[in-house]
A and B are shown apart, each in its own frame.
Chain A
């Protein structure tokens, strides 16, 4: 059984991080260059960590499967990044950001981690501005803010609808600077396929060079995974097509615990699905809910009528009706479920009946079209490209879609997993968002972890490791792991079955969306737990992967990722089945209040479920980390 010590420092909530930083072990500057650190991923968390650790003097090797470290999917975040700057003088504070985030997560995240996140949020904005990130400004030259879901203050910084892109390019520029300075050795087109554990410590990785097919071995004193979330387990999502769980999953199979996989976020405002060929769902930023009003017809009979012909009295602005104090800015999980309920009642719009309206007519009347264009023009353009409809003239049709995963590899307060030497940052870990993430908090967490947490906390581990003591890549553990990956690669190519990799990915996604999506029941999950193992068997018997292992082979890459998604999908459903409560993005129909809101069970489930791999074919072990709230009372989340 894994030992899960959260290592939360003692003391008052607001002093924990400050005190921890002063008490943590340091590595002296002359010794830092003797340590090598592997960072996998160059999104916000990976790029910021690589740059910062290299600035400190560590020797960093960064690995990405992309062709450049500027491509990670952090780049697609549209709306913004939260920070408790209180530049608006509207009563914001570190405590309020902490509290909103904790409550937004339905009291399933760690108090101490969330408070630290709120504390360092202010440093992130300073850092990014100094790097030249062109945040939106007011006429006086100072920074502008907008509002986001789950908050009653305006604390979100943004760069048009491209905030993620600008923050990522800031981190990429810092990383580029350190590559040029020799502090970071960059490996592009390199996919991590295994974690190497030597004497119980993470000491290296196995990588496939995606251009040559070479299986390569790399040793280090510590390994950092910043490899993002696993939402593509649903196949259709707002993730990039390449986003995958493989690095995390292979680490899980080497002993790292996977925490709360059932906490998946369904974003309420995405462009609805149109056909079976579809590869991707596109998000319409939450920022649109600042000015857009969400509604559906009151009567089923109106659902196919042109929206403009439906009189005001026959429209149901259901978020404003159900949650008057937060209205259209209700948190994501709540807004998504409300949309589902409306569509389940047969009031969904569009041909498929799976859609509701996001309407800007009032905003255009109030602000004028030019202002709306300045605020949201690029989002309206994206909507037009995809649907060939103008949101200036008619409401957008939107529907919820998989967008983010709160679960991930278990980490302690230092962001170290239960495998010593293996650290996990950003969306790939589980710690800060509980059962639901608030908008504009993912960018905050990725950069907090990379710029301001790991640079301190990794020293605590490395100080206990003798400089220069990392194993050689000729150690038996490295050879065995590389051999294992080579064999797996060969196996894919030799199956020569009758269906494509994408065929299985689609089927997996359908099983998960139908049985473990916005609403889950015991029966649906038990059904999924029968369907997924059968799908896995069929995949390994009947998939076909053309081409060779010695060149760029995208089918082969995808085969490995889908194989891992199938296994993860099973764990996700098992976690959802075991968690007999509703919280945040995890909604079990058996556990709801009469008004349809989530019914948590704090007595039985105020804990993190951290699953531990026990070997192929054996059921995984469910470890528990109790969530001890020292300062906040877990209460019923109310946005009414």
Chain B
């Protein structure tokens, strides 16, 4: 291993939410952390604090993490009141200790939302997001049934916009940042990605209706257009997609109310 290359060191106090389980009482606990390199990532700082707790015979802080490069969407801390902390367009794992001052008290909490029940310490259950995708966040295509890829031209501008929306990592920061705990940005991103592409058209109406209805049923709140979601989003997904979602939802609601349904599908033709 290589020796530390920079003498920039800080000491901080970590004020972290500890809760043994979903039904146990929770509280903030202070842990001092001294002589941390500013090159250290925030999660590496938690590793160091946890090793210290382990050696003292205490239980380490449970926190969710995996790829540690901002793409898997597993990490989920609210740091000093901000989902994913002080950075812009980054996830918790991409926060480095250079973002904090020597002597600072850093408050760390889990993402808080009714639809994300707490599991332990900083870990929450975000399976509601999976349920929203299962409701319709896909294009129904059987493996092997696809036509040649270049038989479906997509205007570059549409493809680029679809990619902007598709960048969502499913972390839930948008929900945690929203005062209503709304999942509109998450839903809007998936609905927009698929709705912008020709492949997504056949199921466009049924998709948006099913996903929005599922989101509501799972206990997420409503959108009141404050855009805290976009500000906290580690992929800086634009709230413009929420406007697109609203248009799609409205159009789909109207169309589905008046669209003729074949008798084979139980309609009157």
Chain B residues 122-156 with CB under 8 Å of chain A are 123, 125-127, 129-130, 133-135, 137-150, 152-156
**Bound-state Cα–Cα, A337 to B48, Å:** 33
Interface residues on A, range: 35 or more
Q: Is B100 an interface residue (CB 8 A)?
A: no
Interface pair B156/A127, CB less than 8 Å apart: no
Interface-side segment among B90-98, B173-181, B223-231, B244-252:
B90-98
Instruction: Give a binary string over A55-85; 1 marks a CB under 8 Å from any B CB, 0 the rest.
Output: 1000000000011111111011000000001
Chain A residues 130-149 with CB under 8 Å of chain B are 130-132, 134-143
**Bound-state Cα–Cα, A199 to B48, Å:** 47
User: Which B residues touch A169, using CB under 8 A?
Assistant: 166
Q: Which of A134, A137, A552 contacts B193 (CB 8 A)?
A: A134
**Bound-state Cα–Cα, A72 to B169, Å:** 12
Chain A residues 115-158 with CB under 8 Å of chain B are 123, 125-132, 134-143
Interface pair B69/A137, CB less than 8 Å apart: no
Interface pair A130/B60, CB less than 8 Å apart: no
**Bound-state Cα–Cα, A499 to B199, Å:** 55
Among B90, B126, B133, B152, the one with the most A-chain Cβ atoms within 10 Å of its Cβ is B133
User: Which B residues touch A76, using CB under 8 A?
Assistant: 67, 69, 71-72
Interface pair A134/B200, CB less than 8 Å apart: no
Interface pair A382/B134, CB less than 8 Å apart: no
Instruction: Give a binary string over B101-141; 1 marks a CB under 8 Å from any A CB, 0 the rest.
Output: 00000000000000000011001011101100111011111
Q: Is B197 an interface residue (CB 8 A)?
A: yes
User: Which A residues touch B155, using CB under 8 A?
Assistant: 137, 141
**Bound-state Cα–Cα, A184 to B105, Å:** 46
**Bound-state Cα–Cα, A589 to B250, Å:** 68
**Bound-state Cα–Cα, A340 to B87, Å:** 34
Interface pair A142/B163, CB less than 8 Å apart: no
Q: Which of A129, A140, A143 contacts B146 (CB 8 A)?
A: A129
Interface pair A71/B74, CB less than 8 Å apart: yes
**Bound-state Cα–Cα, A136 to B166, Å:** 12
**Bound-state Cα–Cα, A143 to B144, Å:** 19
Interface pair B2/A71, CB less than 8 Å apart: no
Interface pair A67/B199, CB less than 8 Å apart: no
User: Which A residues touch B60, using CB under 8 A?
Assistant: 546-547, 554-555
Q: Is A173 an interface residue (CB 8 A)?
A: yes
Q: Is A604 an interface residue (CB 8 A)?
A: no
Chain B, residue nearest A447 (CB): B143
Q: Is B162 an interface residue (CB 8 A)?
A: yes
Chain B, residue nearest A73 (CB): B67
Interface-side segment among A273-281, A328-336, A405-413, A457-465:
A273-281
**Bound-state Cα–Cα, A611 to B84, Å:** 45
**Bound-state Cα–Cα, A569 to B60, Å:** 27
Interface pair B4/A275, CB less than 8 Å apart: yes
Interface pair A280/B199, CB less than 8 Å apart: no
Interface pair B1/A75, CB less than 8 Å apart: no
Given that A142-B150, A143-B149, A241-B65 are known contacts, is A176 also in contact with B133, CB under 8 Å in the complex? yes
**Bound-state Cα–Cα, A382 to B70, Å:** 9
Given that A130-B146, A138-B156 are known contacts, is A544 also in contact with B197, CB under 8 Å in the complex? no
Chain B residues 49-78 with CB under 8 Å of chain A are 51, 53-55, 57-60, 62, 64-74
Q: Which of A67, A279, A547 contacts B125 (CB 8 A)?
A: A67
Interface pair B193/A132, CB less than 8 Å apart: yes
Interface pair A166/B166, CB less than 8 Å apart: yes
Q: Is B254 an interface residue (CB 8 A)?
A: no
User: Which A residues touch B64, using CB under 8 A?
Assistant: 67
Interface pair A139/B156, CB less than 8 Å apart: yes
Chain A, residue nearest B53 (CB): A546
User: Which B residues touch A162, using CB under 8 A?
Assistant: 71, 163, 167
Interface pair A274/B39, CB less than 8 Å apart: yes
Given that A134-B162, A143-B150, A551-B120 are known contacts, is A66 also in contact with B66, CB under 8 Å in the complex? yes
User: Which A residues touch B123, using CB under 8 A?
Assistant: 552
User: Which B residues touch A132, using CB under 8 A?
Assistant: 138-139, 162, 193-194, 197, 199-200
Q: Is B159 an interface residue (CB 8 A)?
A: yes
User: Which B residues touch A129, using CB under 8 A?
Assistant: 146, 149, 152, 199
User: Which B residues touch A73, using CB under 8 A?
Assistant: 66-67, 72
Q: Is B20 an interface residue (CB 8 A)?
A: yes
A119 CB to closest chain B CB (Å) equals: 14
Instruction: Give a binary string over A148-184; 1 marks a CB under 8 Å from any B CB, 0 the rest.
Output: 0000000000011010011001001110110110000
Given that A126-B146, A129-B152 are known contacts, is A274 also in contact with B59, CB under 8 Å in the complex? no
Among A51, A125, A129, A282, the one with the most B-chain Cβ atoms within 10 Å of its Cβ is A129
Interface pair B125/A277, CB less than 8 Å apart: no
Q: Is B13 an interface residue (CB 8 A)?
A: no
Interface pair B1/A276, CB less than 8 Å apart: yes
Q: Which of A176, A272, A278 contacts B137 (CB 8 A)?
A: A176
Interface pair A500/B55, CB less than 8 Å apart: yes
Given that A66-B66, A131-B199 are known contacts, is A502 also in contact with B51, CB under 8 Å in the complex? yes
Q: Is B262 an interface residue (CB 8 A)?
A: no
User: Which B residues touch A240, using CB under 8 A?
Assistant: 66-68, 72
User: Which B residues touch A452, using CB under 8 A?
Assistant: 143-144
Among B48, B145, B166, B194, the one with the most A-chain Cβ atoms within 10 Å of its Cβ is B166
Q: Is B41 an interface residue (CB 8 A)?
A: yes
**Bound-state Cα–Cα, A451 to B60, Å:** 41
**Bound-state Cα–Cα, A384 to B75, Å:** 20
Q: Is B188 an interface residue (CB 8 A)?
A: no
**Bound-state Cα–Cα, A188 to B148, Å:** 34
Interface pair B59/A547, CB less than 8 Å apart: yes
User: Which A residues touch B143, using CB under 8 A?
Assistant: 48, 51-52, 55, 127, 174, 451-452, 455
Further pairs besides A68-B170, A282-B68: 17, Cβ < 8 Å:
A55-B143, A71-B73, A73-B67, A140-B153, A141-B156, A143-B150, A180-B134, A188-B127, A242-B65, A274-B5, A276-B1, A279-B47, A283-B69, A385-B94, A386-B96, A451-B143, A546-B58
A-B residue pairs in contact (CB < 8 Å), sample of 9 = A76-B72, A126-B149, A134-B162, A162-B163, A165-B169, A273-B1, A276-B3, A382-B69, A544-B55
- In order of increasing CB-CB distance, the 9 nearest A-B pairs are A141-B153, A173-B138, A130-B146, A351-B5, A126-B146, A134-B163, A129-B149, A180-B134, A280-B68
